[in-house]
Structure 1
Amino acid sequence: MSALQVFKKYPRIFWLANLIELFERYAWYGFYMGFGLFLVGSKETGAMGFSPVEKGTIMGTGSMLLYFLPIFTGAIADKIGYKKVLLLAFLIYASGFYMIQHFSSFEMVFISFIWICVGGAFFKPIISATISKTTTAETASIGFGIFYMMVNIGGFIGPFVAGIVLGKGWNFVFMLSIIAIAINFLITLLFFKDLKQEKVSTPLLQSIVQPFKNIFIMLINWRYTMFLLIMSLFWAAFNQLYYTFPIFVEDWVNTTTIYNGIHSIFPTFAQLIGTSSGTISAVTLSSMDSFYIIAFQIMVSAFVMRFKPLNAMMGGIFVLSIGLFLMFGFQSGWIILFGMLIFGLGEMSSSPKFTEYVGNIAPADKKALYMGSSFLAIALGHQIAGFLSGAPYEKVADKLFLLKAEVLKRGLSVPEISENFTKTDYFNEAARQMNFTQQQLTDFLWNGYHPQSIWILFSSIAIGAVVLLFLYDRFIVPKK
């Protein structure tokens, strides 16, 4: 059967779900890829001015809940209907995006992000379930391929555009996300129809509690629990793409060379995507991970399909660790861009195989339970990633932390950061007293304090996951 014939077999709601997914991913990643920068950026830019530890706490906890809560938000959707829960999710999303830019205290920003993640937790299981229920054994492979493509198109366009409008202010970034969610609300309200499904007679409270009981029973399978713990290390390393990479680029990487390279060939395009200072923003640069997935996922999948899932995961995570070295070990924008390609190839080799492996080892009568519980590894990975991007990153690679150490070492008199003296003011005053330009100050800190060594921590965690997976495969997995 040709692909065109397969396309004709999908019902209207299948295409609606994919369109909704695209706008939701646009809204989420357009916000999330630069969220770390928003949290730690200097206040005069409209950012929060928080410390890396506060940023890691907010992002790690909220993102963990985003992947943990669907354990029972899916049960709520099954009980009261997908359309109602989708509309609720979009209302929560939009109100969260609105709130978070109007608060300045750590506590209220934290609560706002948790609120956004609650919206995401309601949304996430519904769309996946809709795709599953509108495909058959004959159409599922292409159907989920289309769905995955929508995820990455949204994941590319969202931060790419956000990085361009960021120069006008953070409120433009949040407004674009709110507009995308508003479009989804209207699509859902006007066109989305609930799928016919069996009526759930189980009381709602019992429907919410039962998944926790099921997961507890399943986690008694110590082999599977060990696998999830190992994979949480992979997700902890992978998620530095969101937690620390944009901040690292903003602080240390010279993206002028990328801008000039593009400008020499496509000057109008360079001016469109670049900043007024002739650079490429960290958020726009970070969007290239999704672009690489769009361009190369099919080829990578075709290559790794010949390997066992565990072997493909080990190889992919090892490649990803090399990508982390290139992304965090250099100041050259072009090397960073190449590092993102290597990182993306590792992600494409390992992430889909994670899902495939869980599906393969799950007993026939517990596949849904295993697939749902696999998100626990992602949730734990986010929590670990938040911790790593806090104090460990701050002490090794945070530019402000390192500059304060140098100011103290030299005995300089630079005022403490306050409401009237921002991070930018601190950098400017410190550079003036040290008789440096900002670029000279950056180079001095880079050469003297070696923030690039943070790659050792991130890559070591990824390689640790590879070693543990090898030992798991060699000694833990039952031999046939």
Structure 2
Amino acid sequence: MSGIIKTIKSFPKVFWVSNTMELFERWAWYGFYMAFALYLVGSKDTGALGFSSAEKGTIMGTGSMLLYLLPLFTGAIADRVGYKKILILSYAMYVSGYWMVATFNSFTMVFAAYIYLAVAGALFKPIISAMISKTSTAETASIGFGIFYMMINIGGFIGPFIAGAIYQKSWDWVFYISMITISINYIFVFFFFKEPGREDNKDSEPLGQVFLQSLRNIVITLSNFKYVLFLLIMVAFWTAFNQLYYAFPVFVDDWVDTSNLYNALHAVWPWLAESIGTPEGTITAVTIGSFDAFFIIIFQIWISGIVMRYKPLNAMMSGIFVLAIGVGMMFAFQNSFFVILGVLIFSIGEMASSPKFTEYVGSIAPADKKALYMGTSFLPIAVGHQLAGVVSGDIYDKAAGKLYLLKQEVAKRGLEIPEVSDTFTKNDYWNKAAEMMGMNNSELTNFIWVNYNPSKIWMLYAGIAVSAVVALFIYDKFILKSKA
């Protein structure tokens, strides 16, 4: 313990400044991002946009793909221009981007605004990782990146936790809080952030040459067939993992009765239940989703201590399989206790597999190409986001979309209800259908659940994760020819 404390004290001030900026950036990002799917598809009379699941998948998938693809180039730009200048630009784009997403209401403009936000994130993302690396040594890097990962999850919990408590009162405040939170980072970047040293030839190198060199680096790295095959397999993992943000909030909001969770919490901590719950006595989907980060904060060290004894590939296979069980439970039940248990199991799988992914890439990279390999390790995350958008779009809608399934029942009964429009919202359609069928909201939800089985979507998402496990096993035994 004394050694850990000594190591923590050895980090320079800029290390802590960088980590604090990461915390506030993640707070701002996840406070908006965990609720974003609901904001895109929610009924217009709640202040949401009323888009289709396909439109939601296109916006989130494409923008998030760019968020993870562009750092292959933006990191090189930051090295050339300077970290402080790029951070200032990134924060300005974040603030204006959150404002634009909150203000625009057409598909095209919201799509453009989210891509703009993704560029802001892509400018920020490689800088803080680089700062942790630059302020750590070979002996302190493990603890340094452990602290960094902890900051990510603290921000990833606080942001959605707050957003979950306020979005039903006002969607605008979800974005305002993100704007305020990211603006706090101006204090750190102007008054406490110290620019790291850069090579003398950085400023003289043409920007076009920087891009070309980045492309050459990608080509060099992807010439390794075994590595490319591994990255392709991991696309399946990230596709399943990202349903935590793409489909899970929508599924919970549509189908899961969270009143029993609220009541259980209220029996123990009434003040907490009333603070984070809704006036109707429920817990929002966004708040439930935030517990993934909360569980990681609590259990990451323990889980890391268990999986450190196993080879990275074996740990990844076990972790992804556990994650598959969790994601299956998250989409299989209406009972919120089973759903929150699913989130816990999901987070255990994430803790066992996600850090091992990074460790494995670092372990197989040639000594002189570690940075190149670590950069291209973002590629399956980027593609996984794009595919996550696809399988949470029309595919999700036809299997589990609440309004889509209701429309099938309306057509079967021959009922005449106006189509959803600016003046006749999704909620209006649902309420009209319930009235014509002689049911209340809860009764109609349960009727559609029993007769159309939207929970079957769990098989797709869990199956994608299991396919990654099977592919990794084949890869390990037959491509790498492991005997362990």
TM class by shorter-chain length? Answer: over 0.9
327, 331, 336: which is aligned to 1:324? 327
Task: Determine the C-alpha separation between the residues in 1 that align with 2:189 and 2:412.
Answer: 59
1:74-132 C-alpha deviation (Å, 9 max, x unpaired): 01100010000000000111100001111111000000000000000000000000010
Asked if 1:241 corresponds to 2:244, the answer is yes
Equivalent residue number for residue 5 of structure 1: 6
Tell me what 1:356 maps to.
359
Deviation for aligned residue 1:477: 1.4
Structure 2 Cα separation of the partners of residues 97 and 291 of structure 1:
24
- Separation in 2, partners of 1:178, 1:161: 14
Q: CA deviation at 1:216?
A: 1.4
Are 1:169 and 2:175 matched, yes or no? no
Match of 1:417 among 416, 420, 429: 420
The question of 1:280 aligning with 2:283 is answered yes
Q: CA deviation at 1:165?
A: 1.2
Candidates 375, 379, 404, aligned match of 1:376: 379
Which range moves more in the overlay, 2-11 or 292-301?
2-11
- Report what 2:65 is aligned to: 64
Aligned to 1:87: 88
- TM-score norm. by structure 1 comes to 0.99
Residue 167 of structure 1: CA displacement?
2.3
The answer to whether the 8 A contact 1:289-1:341 is kept is yes
Instruction: Output the aligned Cα RMSD.
Output: 1.0
1:22-421 matched pairs, under 5 angstroms: 22-199=23-200, 200=202, 201-421=204-424
1:457-472 equivalence runs, <5 A: 457-472=460-475
Separation in structure 1 between the aligned mates of residue 406 and residue 27 of structure 2, nearest angstrom: 36
Alpha carbons 2:65, 2:382 under 8 Å: kept: yes
Query: 4-13 or 143-152: which moved more?
Result: 4-13
Measured after TM superposition, the shift of residue 478 of structure 1 is 5.5
Which string of whole-angstrom CA distances, capped at 9 and with x for unpartnered residues, describes residues 230-288 of structure 1? 00100000000000000000000000000000111111111011011100011011000
Tell me: CA distance 1:168–1:362, structure 2 relative to 1, closer, same or farther (3 Å): same
For residue 37 of structure 1, what is the amino acid of its counterpart? Answer: L
TM-score normalised by length of structure 2: 0.98
State the secondary structure of the residue aligned to 2:325. Answer: helix
| Partner AA of 2:425 in structure 1 | T
Displacement of 1:217 in angstroms is: 2.2
Q: Report the Cα distance in structure 2 between the residues aligned to 1:358 and 1:222, rounded to whole angstroms.
A: 14
Q: Do the aligned residues in 1 keep the contact of 2:46 with 2:168 (CA within 8 Å)?
A: no
SS of match in other structure, 2:184: helix
Tell me the secondary structure at the aligned position of residue 419 of structure 2: coil
1:479 & 1:324 partners in 2: Cα distance? 29
How many angstroms apart in 1 are the aligned matches of 2:374 and 2:322?
A: 25
Quote the Cα distance in structure 1 between the aligned partners of 2:221 and 2:205. Answer: 21
Q: Distance in 1 between matches of 2:221 and 2:276?
A: 48
Q: Deviation at 1:479?
A: 5.4
Tell me how far apart the structure 2 counterparts of residues 35 and 91 of structure 1 sit (CA, whole Å).
20
Kept in 1, the 8 Å contact 2:476–2:482? The answer is no
Q: Secondary structure at the match of 2:296?
A: helix
Shift of 1:139: 1.5
Q: Structure 1: which 5+ residue stretches go unaligned?
A: none
Task: Report if aligned partners of 2:218, 2:376 keep a CA contact under 8 Å in 1.
Answer: yes
AA of the residue aligned to 1:431: A
In 2, the alpha carbon distance for the partners of 1:174 and 1:383 equals 24
> 1:427 maps to which residue?
430
Q: Which amino acid aligns with 2:292?
A: D
The aligned amino acid for 1:213 is: R
For residues 441 and 479 of structure 1, the distance between their equivalents in structure 2, rounded to whole angstroms, comes to 54
Q: Which amino acid aligns with 2:462?
A: S
Provide the rounded CA distance (Å) in 1 between the counterparts of 2:132 and 2:180.
24
Q: Spell out the pairing of 1:445-464 with structure 2 (5 A cutoff).
A: 445-464=448-467
Quick one: distance in 1 between partners of 2:422 and 2:61? 26
1:328-365 CA distances to partner (integer Å, 9 max, x unpaired)? Answer: 00000000000101011001010000000000100001
Question: Following the alignment from structure 1 to structure 2, what is the Cα–Cα distance between the partners of residues 10 and 364?
Answer: 25
User: Which has the higher mean CA deviation after the structures are superposed, 209-218 or 21-30?
Assistant: 209-218
User: How far apart are the structure 1 equivalents of 2:168 and 2:104?
Assistant: 20
Offset, 1:307: 0.9
Q: How far apart, in 2, do the equivalents of 1:337 and 1:96 lie?
A: 32
Partner SS state of residue 335, structure 1:
helix
Deviation (angstroms), 1:376: 0.2
Provide the rounded CA distance (Å) in 1 between the counterparts of 2:450 and 2:64: 34
Distance 1:293 1:209 in 2: 39
Q: Is the 8 A contact 1:72 1:209 kept in 2?
A: no
Contact kept in structure 1, 2:41 and 2:48, CA below 8 Å: yes
CA distance in 2, matches of 1:46, 1:212: 43
Following superposition, the deviation at residue 211 of structure 1 comes to 1.1
Partner of 1:438: 441
Comparing 200-209 with 19-28, greater Cα deviation is found at 200-209
TM-fit CA distance, 1:197: 2.2
Q: Counterparts of 1:379 and 1:341 in 2: how far apart (Å)?
A: 25
The one-letter code matched in structure 2 to 1:73 is T
